[in-house]
Amino acid sequence: MFRSIGVISLLIIAAPALAEGINYNYIEGSYQRVELDDSFVNVDGDGYGIAGSVALGDSWHLIGGYNGTSFDVLPGVDVDLDELTLGGGFHTSLTANMDFVANLAYVRLEGSSQGFSIDDDGIGASIGIRAMATQNLELAAALQYIELSDSGNDTTLRGDAWYNFTPNFAVGLNVSTGDDLLRYGIGARIYFGN
């Protein structure tokens, strides 16, 4: 928790007022690497995702995303994990170039392997900030919490850095870390409207 507050505080201090605003209308694709390590499993996997956001007025937005990850559990045995997220959020300016963001979403997970499948669903929530560190560089940090019906709960810290080559195209890096999870990836984002 203190690490999360420290990262968010550094972003607040480091972001000078150079940008024209933060755009909540985008679609992005990403490649992700995932490492799970708890008392039951220690596996690595990779996959792809798509996510997006649509602004609703000046302070609200809709969010959605899908991630598909394949884990190599044993030689010749893979476990595929699909994650769907649908929800909305609120954002408000803290400074000319920094927004506070809060999201609430429905989350559905489905795992499958060797013809068997299981699924679970629940609620995800996050709070954080998005800030333009320079005219072209956006930094974001969020504290994320998920509560699933059968699988329990988890808290992670996520950080993003997006470099905007044009007002409509950016490339970024992201990392999420929790007690049993490390996820990192690279992606591309297309903005529309503003």
pLDDT tens sequence across 84-99: 999 999 999 999 999 9
Global pTM value: 0.84
Instruction: Report pLDDT for 16.
Output: 38
Position 9 pLDDT exceeds 80: no
Position 27 pLDDT exceeds 70: yes
Instruction: Kindly report, residue by residue over 150-191, the tens digit of the pLDDT.
Output: 888 889 999 999 999 999 999 999 999 988 889 999 999 999
- As a whole number, mean pLDDT of residues 7-33 equals 67
Instruction: Report pLDDT for 194.
Output: 66
Q: How many domains does the chain have?
A: 1
Position 20 pLDDT exceeds 80: no
> Which domain CATH number covers 85?
2.40.160.20
Q: With contact defined as beta carbons under 8 Å apart, do 56 and 87 qualify? A: no
Residues paired with 159 in a beta bridge:
141, 175
Structure tokens at 178: 């929790």
- Domain region containing 114: 2-191
